[in-house]
Chains A and B, each alone.
Chain A
Amino acid sequence: MELEMRLRKSYGPFRLDADFCVKGERIGIFGESGSGKSTLIGMLAGLVEPDDGTICLDGETLYSRSGGVHIPAERRRIAMVFQQPSLFPHLSVRNNLLYGYRRCSPQHRRVAFEPLVQVLKLEELLDRGVNNLSGGEQQRVAIGRAVLASPRLLIMDEPLSALDDDLKFQIIPYLTGVCGRFGIPFLFISHSLLEMRLMADTVLMFDKGLLVEQGSPDELARRRMGHSPSGYINLFRLGRPVGNNGLHTFAWGDRLLLISAAPKSEAGLYELSSRDIILFKQHPEAISARNLLRGRVVSTFESSGKTGVELACGDDRLIAEVVHEAAVELDIRTGVELFAAVKASSFRPLG
């Protein structure tokens, strides 16, 4: 998918000025509330008319003020999943799912009903009304409804914001799974960097109506490490524990991690802040932290006065954060070997 947006839109004192071209199947739009994300996607979907500019999707002009082109929302084939499920309350789950499917011309239909229902595990819910479903079920129906319209682009406008943490990480595999399975490119909008890292390959960051950064979510996370309250978040997909001896034991590459908190799902997804890692120049003789990981520095980077240290532990990577003075004192530079100590309780289960 290739998206080019060169647009201007003003609401009173607020001015959105977007000018970018992005390629990829998993694009993220990141920014605090009020940064113009919603206005931007409203214009892309055809729900908000820009003041001026052009929108091109895969070479087709959807909007061009100077060219007099304004394809209406219903003909753009850009479906949306909103923050709230926004299901049609008067229709059953089945009829909600089929709403876009029935309106999609047969030559554009790429997603069949039965396989989608299976992927989203909606078989049991089809004949129920939508008002008594749980929050997670409703959001799954909303995802299915959008995907069944066989859109050429799916916009997800903070689809996880209204869900609690546990549910959020249950829904993410459905989102990525269904788009991957049916080959639907998506634009994922969020103010959570963690969600960006789980969902997107390329991120556009907006601030006060302007595009301020474009890159991979990891690059963005590294740049924001110094001023983010939780530093850089290391993500671990550890699967099932291999043992339990008071602490949960997981295989991580060719080493073991000991973790206090039980995993929340089979994926065994954990986060670890760069600030919860202590670096040692030499092997400490005795230490209370249950994880002591030997690694080689593969890169260092600066972020708001802090030094980020990327350690290679076998094939895996770990990012720790130290103050500048510590980096100098420990002589941290590429190629140096260090020991990283992490308490078992510092790992937080996500999903």
Chain B
Amino acid sequence: MSIFSPTDLDAIGLSTKVALVATLVSLPFGFVMAYVMTFRRFRGKVLLEVAVNLPLTLPPVVIGYLLLLLLGKNGWLGHLLDQAGIRIIFTWQAAVVASAVVGFPLLVRSIRIGMESIDQRLIHASRTLGARWYDTLFTVIVPLSLQGILAGSSLMFARSLGEFGATIIVAGNIPGVTQTIPLAIFDYVNSPDGERMALALCMTAIVLSLLVLFLHEHFGRKLARRD
């Protein structure tokens, strides 16, 4: 018999789902952002760079609060979504948004490191051999950034698993609906005899994190061997 209650299992499932969806949804945007930062020159690049990295330095609670202002009923975006009959605040999608915003700079940074390590001459060679920019992108830049993409995705997934501050503000802590592992641990720690369960969920978080790191190492080595 499982030591976890159905709501604990929900929290584990939700954490995994939120982290996975946040990573997958952010990946194309993160890739485009890293590409723009690495290969394009334009005015205001520094400002964009600061904006992308801001969530890395801001307290997650601040991010959560700003998201609440933006996505809330009276918020600029929330108002529009409300008119379209979409409500995000206090749903699991809000947890995805919170995780995506907090983890985005980590994703972009890792992909960018991968892209910056690509020898510029390979891109020149590809162009002089007749490849247009999108051809070079898919046949040279994407394959040679795979390690960075993998590292970024792992980091983002792991960061999303641990996301607490922004999530609790924008998604709340509703068991079975928006309660992820960190939020469930928070509840157990605050209840008189929740120590055992808090520890069990901590162990689950550790196992999940280790799994991500092992997978990252495994695929990273595979890619390195191929190169």
Given the interface pairs A80-B128, A82-B121, A131-B227, the reply to whether A103 lies near B140 with Cβ below 8 Å is: no
**B122 an interface residue at 8 Å Cβ cutoff?**
yes
Which of A85-93, A216-224, A327-335 lies at the interface?
A85-93
**A251 an interface residue at 8 Å Cβ cutoff?**
no
B135 touches A103 (CB 8 A): yes
Expressed in whole angstroms, the minimum distance between the Cβ of A185 and any Cβ of chain B is: 15
**B132 an interface residue at 8 Å Cβ cutoff?**
yes
Within 8 A of A (CB), among B101-136: 119, 121-122, 124-132, 135
Which of A60-68, A70-78, A200-208, A278-286 lies at the interface?
A70-78
**Per-residue CB proximity of A140-178 to B under 8 Å, as 1/0?**
000001100100000100000000000000000000000
B132 touches A74 (CB 8 A): yes
Given the interface pairs A89-B144, A90-B143, A90-B227, the reply to whether A104 lies near B130 with Cβ below 8 Å is: yes
Nearest-CB residue, chain B, relative to A89: B227
**B226 an interface residue at 8 Å Cβ cutoff?**
yes
Expressed in whole angstroms, the minimum distance between the Cβ of B227 and any Cβ of chain A is: 5
B119, B129, B132, B135 pick with most chain A CB within 10 angstroms: B129
Residue in A79, A84, A88, A90 whose beta carbon sits within 8 Å of that of B128 in the complex: A79
**A182 an interface residue at 8 Å Cβ cutoff?**
no
B144 touches A149 (CB 8 A): no
Interface size on B, residues (CB 8 A): 19
List of A residues within 8 angstroms of B226 by Cβ:
90, 129
Measured CA separation A149–B129 after assembly (Å): 6
**A199 an interface residue at 8 Å Cβ cutoff?**
no
Measured CA separation A79–B125 after assembly (Å): 8
Residue in A89, A99, A131 whose beta carbon sits within 8 Å of that of B126 in the complex: A99
**A100 an interface residue at 8 Å Cβ cutoff?**
yes
B128 touches A45 (CB 8 A): yes
**A47 an interface residue at 8 Å Cβ cutoff?**
yes
Measured CA separation A31–B122 after assembly (Å): 25
B128 touches A47 (CB 8 A): yes
Q: How large is the interface on A (under 10, 10 to 19, 20 to 34, 35 or more residues)?
A: 20 to 34
Expressed in whole angstroms, the minimum distance between the Cβ of B132 and any Cβ of chain A is: 5
A90 touches B124 (CB 8 A): no
Within 8 A of B (CB), among A285-339: none
B129 touches A145 (CB 8 A): yes
Expressed in whole angstroms, the minimum distance between the Cβ of A95 and any Cβ of chain B is: 10
Within 8 A of B (CB), among A24-45: 45
B124, B135, B143, B226 pick with most chain A CB within 10 angstroms: B124
Given the interface pairs A86-B121, A89-B227, the reply to whether A103 lies near B129 with Cβ below 8 Å is: yes
Measured CA separation A75–B127 after assembly (Å): 9
Given the interface pairs A88-B140, A90-B143, A131-B227, the reply to whether A80 lies near B124 with Cβ below 8 Å is: yes
Expressed in whole angstroms, the minimum distance between the Cβ of A111 and any Cβ of chain B is: 13
List of B residues within 8 angstroms of A78 by Cβ:
128
Expressed in whole angstroms, the minimum distance between the Cβ of A310 and any Cβ of chain B is: 41
Within 8 A of A (CB), among B124-174: 124-132, 135, 139-140, 143-144
List of B residues within 8 angstroms of A88 by Cβ:
122, 125-126, 139-140
Expressed in whole angstroms, the minimum distance between the Cβ of A135 and any Cβ of chain B is: 16
List of A residues within 8 angstroms of B129 by Cβ:
74, 79, 99-100, 103, 145-146, 149
Nearest-CB residue, chain B, relative to A75: B130
B130 touches A82 (CB 8 A): no
Expressed in whole angstroms, the minimum distance between the Cβ of A191 and any Cβ of chain B is: 19
Residue in B121, B131, B135 whose beta carbon sits within 8 Å of that of A84 in the complex: B121
A73 touches B127 (CB 8 A): yes
Measured CA separation A136–B227 after assembly (Å): 19
Nearest-CB residue, chain A, relative to B143: A90
List of B residues within 8 angstroms of A86 by Cβ:
119, 121-122, 124-125
Expressed in whole angstroms, the minimum distance between the Cβ of A40 and any Cβ of chain B is: 15
Expressed in whole angstroms, the minimum distance between the Cβ of B22 and any Cβ of chain A is: 28
A74 touches B131 (CB 8 A): yes
A73 touches B135 (CB 8 A): no
List of A residues within 8 angstroms of B227 by Cβ:
89-90, 131
Expressed in whole angstroms, the minimum distance between the Cβ of A2 and any Cβ of chain B is: 20
A45, A75, A88, A100 pick with most chain B CB within 10 angstroms: A88
Measured CA separation A149–B128 after assembly (Å): 9
List of A residues within 8 angstroms of B131 by Cβ:
74, 99, 103
Q: Knowing that A47-B128, A99-B131 are A-B contacts, what are 11 other residue pairs whose CB atoms are under 8 Å apart, sorted by A's residue number? A: A72-B127, A74-B127, A74-B132, A78-B128, A80-B128, A82-B125, A88-B139, A89-B227, A103-B129, A149-B128, A155-B128
Identify 9 residue pairs between A and B in the complex whose beta-carbon atoms are under 8 Å apart, listed by A's number: A74-B135, A75-B130, A77-B130, A86-B119, A88-B139, A103-B131, A104-B130, A149-B129, A149-B130
Q: Nearest 6 CB-CB pairs, A to B?
A: A103-B130, A100-B129, A86-B121, A73-B127, A90-B143, A80-B128
